[in-house]
Each structure stands twice: as structure tokens, then as C-alpha cells.
């Protein structure tokens, strides 16, 4: 795993990343602390890119792809960072994504196998009955499809990708394995292959990715006065179409109207979010859940005659009000002052602070029982309009 930190204000942007990479072979896992995760995207322009979550794109290391793009782009420039990002993906497309039909199908089937494993894990949490039938699973599958359709948007280049075409690309061998896995998991003769493919199709054409690499484009176009950070999630190639989407929630565009800075964290985000919000994400969630439990107990003891529906409504109302008050307090008393101070930092301070957040994440993993999947030397780069991409620390 990884921790990548991007810190921006009007003066520039600092990128920091650890060096850990986890190699998995079956049930065995090995962590190496030698991975490069930050790269200059151009030798002549102030553009950088960081990667997290995956080191390869369908068998080809991202480091090779990024450096090959940098070699061919030479002194070519674009007016905005958005145009650099688009040109990078256009270049991948012109090179057939450095893959072929056979390899694409192989990775699609591997994704399907992983998806089935995730489905089984999820079903075992939600299906509590001792005896499971196809009818019970059918209802759960239908609910899952509705959740996928509700929570995620259809990718523009997959609007015409049909379920029948997906079924053609999936190997009979993989479908047979999926049927056997589900049959063994629930001790039934699984008979919902078409519904399973329908659920996988709903997942494939939308922007909720399970397996992906995050690319964090950072820097300036020739007409950008202030820095920007544009993250993109990249999955795989299906039927000659690249499955990818912009991570809109984490985009940062510094502008002239605001004097605050901003920070984006990727992959292992718990420590950075604790610093930014003043409370551990885990503790924040526990506090919200505790409020709901306390309300339920109070209502049960004081208003025993209240219906279940009315009790749930009261609980939801109180929990929502608690969430609003907590969020406003965090924003007013902690996050806004923090980002205001960040807006005044020099580029040297931005680099030091981003490095410190990565290092704190490493320390937390080292001194707890969690796997040390963040570690090794911390690479730090600063990108400014005038000086371009400059390494502050490089292993």
C-alpha cells in the first residue's frame, strides 16, 4: 500500500510519498521499500504525477509508461493541467494501451474472479439465515444491483457496452469457477449465473472501482497561474475501452479568490485526516454510532410506547443533528484555521509538512499491530510555476 500527500497553496505544490510496495502471491505477502511513486511528467514543464494502489497497468509498470510518455512529449506544452491529463490518456489509446485482446480478456476475467470473492464476503455479512436458497440470494443480488446503480455513475465510454458483450468476454471456465465458489460458500446448487453477470455488468460500466491505480496529476499548464491537483482512477481495458474516471472529490484547484491552502491524501489516509480534522476517522465514526445507541436506550426507557418507526425517525434526526454540529465545529475551529495557515507556508514548509505526514503514517504502522504497508524512504518534490519540478528528497 501507499501514502501519497499533495499540499498546495498559491506559491506551489508539494508531493510526498513513501516507498513501500506489497507483492502478493496467493496467501503470501511481501513488502519492499524500494518503489518510486512520484515522477516528473515533463522535463521542460512544471508537471508531475504520483501513483498509488497499483504499480502496474495490465502487466506494464506505470513507471515505464510515465517515462515513455515523458520521452516522447519532449518540449510540447498545454495551456492547462487538464489538457496534459487528456493528452496522457490519448497517448495510451494511440498505443492500444500497451495491451492486446488476449491480455485484456485475461485481466477482465481476473477482475471477475476477484469480484465474485468480494460478493461472497459481502453476502456472508448480510445473509444471516442458517439455510440459504437461490431465492434468498436472488433477492440479495437484486438489492446489490440497485445499490450499484444508485451509488455510482455510468462511465461515458461504457454507455453502449452490453451485458451480452460482457458475457462473451468472460470465459466459461471462470463462470464455472464462480458457480462452484458460490455453491460451496452457501452449500447450495447455485443457479443464478445470469444475475451474477448482470451485477458484474452494473459494476463494470460504472465508476465504483475495486481494483485500480490512482494517478495524481499535479502542476501547471502554461496559462495556469496557480497549481492544480487532478486525481484519476484507472482500472483496465475492456473491449478496447479504458475503464477510468476522475476522482472529483479530491480535485484541488487553487484560485485567486481564496488565500487558504489545501491538502489531499491518497491510499492510507487515516493519519492525514486526523491531522486535518482533529479527530481520528475511526473515533469519529464510533462517536456517531454511540450517539445513535444512546438515543435508542433513552427512548426505550423513557418512551416505551413509541412505535419502532417513530423511534427510528427520532434516532435518525438526533444522529443527523449531531453530525451537522460536529462537522461545523471541526470546520470552524480546526480545519479552516489549519488550511488558512497552510495558505501562507513557503514551498520549503509545504515540502517539510507533506513529508512529515507520510512519516507519521509510517510510524503509526510501525508501532501498532497493523501491517507495515507504509514505509521506507520518503520522496518529496516541489512544483512551482517558475522553477518547475524540483526534487527536495529522492532515494
Q: What is the pLDDT of residue 31?
A: 78
171 with 232, same domain: the answer is no
Report if residue 296 sits inside a domain: no
Q: What is the pLDDT of residue 302?
A: 65
Report if residue 292 sits inside a domain: no
**Of 157, 170, 114, 160, nearest to 243 (Cα)?**
157
Report if residue 160 sits inside a domain: yes
- CA 38/CA 50 separation, integer angstroms: 4
Cell of 31: 513488502
111 with 251, same domain: the answer is no
Final residue belonging to a domain, choices 204, 223, 249: 204
Per-state percent for the chain, helix, strand, coil, to nearest 5: 50, 20, 30
**Of 69, 8, 74, 4, nearest to 385 (Cα)?**
8
**Of 71, 80, 11, 86, nearest to 39 (Cα)?**
71
Q: What is the pLDDT of residue 105?
A: 94
- Which residues, other chains included, contact 139 with Cβ-Cβ below 8 Å and sequence gap of 6+? none
112 with 218, same domain: the answer is no
Q: What is the pLDDT of residue 292?
A: 77
- CA 319/CA 327 separation, integer angstroms: 12
Which bin fits 250, alpha (ψ -120 to 50), beta or left (φ > 0)?
Answer: alpha
Q: What is the pLDDT of residue 198?
A: 96
**Rounded to 5°, angle at Cα 230 from 228 and 236:** 160
Report if residue 148 sits inside a domain: yes
Q: What is the pLDDT of residue 313?
A: 80
197 with 110, same domain: the answer is yes
- CA 38/CA 49 separation, integer angstroms: 6
- For residues 232 and 214, the answer to whether their CB atoms sit within 8 Å is yes
361 with 220, same domain: the answer is yes
CATH (domain of 357)? 3.60.20.10
Ranges of residues in the chain whose predicted pLDDT is under 70: 1, 25-28, 129, 299, 302-306
Number of domains in the chain: 2
- For residues 10 and 53, the answer to whether their CB atoms sit within 8 Å is no
Q: What is the pLDDT of residue 305?
A: 63
- Helix pair 281-302, 308-330: axis angle to 10 deg: 140
Local structure of residue 152 (DSSP, 8 states): S
122 with 180, same domain: the answer is yes
Provide the H-helix boundaries in 95-207. Answer: 101-126, 134-151, 163-169, 172-186, 193-204
Report if residue 293 sits inside a domain: no
72: enclosing H helix or E strand: helix 62-73
Q: What is the 3-state secondary structure (H, E, C) of 199-234?
A: HHHHHHCECCCCCCEEEEEEECCCCCCCCEEEEEEE
- For residues 4 and 37, the answer to whether their CB atoms sit within 8 Å is yes
87 with 181, same domain: the answer is no
20 with 117, same domain: the answer is no
Local structure of residue 268 (DSSP, 8 states): S
Q: Alpha carbon 60 to chain centroid distance?
A: 20
195 with 230, same domain: the answer is no
130 with 258, same domain: the answer is no
350 with 374, same domain: the answer is yes
CA 195 → CA 94, 138, 151, 184, 367, distances in Å? 35, 8, 19, 18, 45
Report if residue 298 sits inside a domain: no
Which residue(s) pair with 353 in the sheet?
none
Q: What is the pLDDT of residue 202?
A: 97
Report if residue 145 sits inside a domain: yes
- Which residues, other chains included, contact 189 with Cβ-Cβ below 8 Å and sequence gap of 6+? 134, 183
Long-range (24+ apart) CB contacts under 8 A made by 147-154 are: 148/199, 148/202, 148/203, 148/206, 148/208, 149/202, 149/206, 151/208, 152/206, 152/207, 152/208, 153/206, 153/207, 154/205, 154/206, 154/207
pLDDT in tens, 190-243: 999 999 999 999 999 999 999 999 999 999 999 999 999 999 999 999 999 999
Report if residue 287 sits inside a domain: no
Final residue belonging to a domain, choices 139, 170, 204: 204
Domain span at residue 271?
A: 3-99+211-281+327-393
169 with 223, same domain: the answer is no
How deeply is 133 buried, as exposed, middle or buried, from its count of CB atoms within 10 A (0-12, 13-18, 19+)?
exposed
Final residue belonging to a domain, choices 179, 204, 229: 204
Amino acid at each position: 500500500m501507499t501514502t501519497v500527500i499533495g499540499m498546495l497553496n498559491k506559491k506551489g505544490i508539494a508531493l510526498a510519498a513513501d516507498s513501500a510496495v506489497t507483492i502478493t502471491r496467493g496467501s503470501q505477502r511481501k513488502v519492499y521499500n524500494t518503489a518510486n511513486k512520484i515522477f516528473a511528467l515533463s522535463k521542460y514543464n512544471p508537471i508531475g504525477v504520483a501513483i498509488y494502489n497499483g504499480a502496474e497497468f495490465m502487466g506494464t509498470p506505470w513507471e515505464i509508461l510515465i517515462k515513455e510518455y515523458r520521452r516522447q512529449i519532449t518540449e510540447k506544452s498545454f495551456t492547462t493541467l487538464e489538457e496534459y491529463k487528456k493528452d496522457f490518456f490519448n497517448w495510451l489509446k494511440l498505443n492500444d494501451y500497451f495491451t492486446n485482446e488476449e491480455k485484456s480478456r485475461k485481466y477482465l476475467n481476473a477482475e471477475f474472479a476477484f469480484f465474485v470473492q468480494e460478493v461472497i464476503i459481502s453476502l456472508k455479512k448480510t445473509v444471516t439465515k442458517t439455510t440459504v436458497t437461490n431465492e434468498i440470494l436472488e433477492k440479495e443480488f437484486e438489492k446489490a444491483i440497485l445499490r450499484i446503480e444508485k451509488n455510482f455513475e455510468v462511465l461515458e465510454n461504457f454507455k453502449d457496452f452490453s451485458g451480452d458483450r460482457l458475457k462473451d468476454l468472460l470465459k466459461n471456465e471462470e463462470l464455472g469457477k464462480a458457480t462452484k465458489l458460490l455453491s460451496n460458500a452457501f452449500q447450495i446448487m447455485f443457479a443464478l449465473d445470469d444475475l451474477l453477470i448482470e451485477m458484474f455488468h452494473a459494476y463494470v460500466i460504472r465508476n465504483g472501482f475495486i481494483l485500480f491505480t490512482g494517478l495524481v496529476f499535479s502542476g501547471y499548464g502554461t496559462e495556469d497561474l496557480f497549481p492544480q491537483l487532478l486525481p484519476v482512477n484507472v482500472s483496465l481495458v475492456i473491449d478496447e475501452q479504458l475503464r477510468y474516471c476522475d476522482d472529483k472529490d479530491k480535485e484541488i484547484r487553487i484560485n485567486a479568490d481564496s488565500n487558504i491552502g489545501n491538502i489531499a491524501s491518497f491510499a492510507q489516509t487515516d493519519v492525514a485526516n486526523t491531522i486535518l480534522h482533529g479527530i481520528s476517522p475511526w473515533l469519529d465514526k464510533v462517536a456517531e454510532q454511540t450517539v445513535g445507541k444512546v438515543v435508542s436506550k433513552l427512548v426505550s426507557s423513557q418512551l416505551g410506547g413509541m412505535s419502532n418507526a417513530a423511534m427510528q425517525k427520532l434516532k435518525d434526526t438526533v444522529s443527523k443533528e449531531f453530525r451537522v454540529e460536529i462537522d461545523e465545529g471541526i470546520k470552524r475551529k480546526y480545519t479552516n484555521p489549519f488550511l488558512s495557515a497552510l495558505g501562507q507556508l513557503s514551498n520549503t514548509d509545504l515540502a517539510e509538512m507533506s513529508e512529515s505526514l507520510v512519516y507519521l503514517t509510517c510510524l503509526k504502522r510501525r508501532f501498532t499491530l497493523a501491517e507495515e504497508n507504509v514505509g521506507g524512504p520518503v520522496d518529496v518534490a516541489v512544483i512551482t510555476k517558475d522553477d518547475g519540478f524540483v526534487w527536495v528528497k529522492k532515494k
